[in-house]
Amino acid sequence: MLLLNYDFYDIHSVITMLRAKPKNECNFEVINAVLDILRTPQIDSTIENNIIRKRLKKIEKLDKDDFLWVYVDNIYTYGWKVIKDDACYSFLANGFQMMLEYAESGEIQRLEDLADAMHNIPIFFADGCKNFKKAVKIQFAHYDKTYKINLLKELSK
């Protein structure tokens, strides 16, 4: 499924909330919803606005105070662009898969740390970051050092 840059900003908001409230009872469903969207193949030329928000609205346990922005459907009249690079979707999907595994196994600190490392990645994709690898290495430095991993390499698979 192709997303607009504004959907990537919404993914940024999701990751920021996962970082802020890693123990939230709806995190598993939120992560799954975004992961499903990121992994859905594009089958036609239709682009749906607010897809992240629409999917999250369906989560019954979603904290309406924490996710207030989900209940506003934006009408994009200017500055939108379609993100077509499959690598962006794969990179984010791999990150959300890791977050899902941490949520399932109860590794709350690791979920929080991964969300902290990843929260700006959707913005880099939405805004067309010129030096992506350098920016990501800076974002991932603390996580890589703490968990002895090369997160850029792991998420690029």
Average of per-residue pLDDT values in the chain? 94
Distance from C-alpha of 1 to C-alpha of 3, rounded to nearest angstrom:
6
Q: What is the pLDDT of residue 76?
A: 78
Average pLDDT for residues 104-118, to the nearest whole number?
97
Handedness of CA 13, 19, 23, 27 (dihedral sign): positive
Question: pTM of the predicted model, to two decimals?
Answer: 0.95
79 confidence band (pLDDT: 50, 70, 90): confident
pLDDT tens-digit map of 52-62: 999 999 999 99
Q: How many degrees, rounded to 5, is the angle at CA 86 between CA 59 and CA 129?
A: 95
Q: Domain limits of the chain?
A: 3-155
